[in-house]
Structure 1
Amino acid sequence: MLKQIAVVEAERDTAVTAASLDDADAPRAALLARLGGIGPELATVLVREALYRPFAIGKEVAANAGLTSSPFASGDRHQDQVISTAGNLLLRKSMVELAWLCLRYPSGSALAC
């Protein structure tokens, strides 16, 4: 099983580093992978799952990933609960990981710049 995982990871890394003519996502994933803290796996997930189409505002990206809150209304009480489970699970996990990376490498650090 470990050999099969290594083969799949090697194919993924090759697809990101050596872009083929029929893969339009590979150059964008390679650019993201050059950023500090983002590896080829996270870059590939972000490009193929989130950046496959243009979004007008950030709320659309969050809704696509399922990172929006689910409303709760009972009588006069209206409040937002935890994040909804609707949306792309793989993208949601990747974006939470990306948020942790943003906390780890703040915008003033040399790696983020």
Structure 2
Amino acid sequence: MQPGQSVLLVLNLTARPDVEDLMRVMAADNPADGADTVTRWRVMAAADTVARLEVAWLEPVYTELAVVLDADDHREALTAAVADGRIALTATDPAGSLDAEFPLVAVSTDGASLTSLTQQAALSCRR
């Protein structure tokens, strides 16, 4: 991953059409100052190398989403998220959408919280 590039997580939202709809709405009519979101990182108690990103959109409609990542497998992405301070989310595989725009939302991440989490998961991430 190149410095300054945002991490892009492509999510399978088959079971969460509400989140996929929210992404489409936000791509079409995102508030000028961005949507209010709350993000939180956690290390899963059962396996200290599993990171959980919790996102709550407060507008345009309240929606929650949790994404679970194996910290060892996604070390480069987590390190980049610490440096960039955000993660982009989509439900559309960009490789299959080269000729069309696809819904994409970016959420801010708490770099200090993510750094603490990666340290708990025995990873080394620097801001």
Question: Higher relative contact order at CA 8 Å, sep ≥6: structure 1 or structure 2?
Answer: 2
* Structure ID, larger Rg: 1
Which structure carries more strand by proportion? 2
Which structure carries more helix by proportion? 1
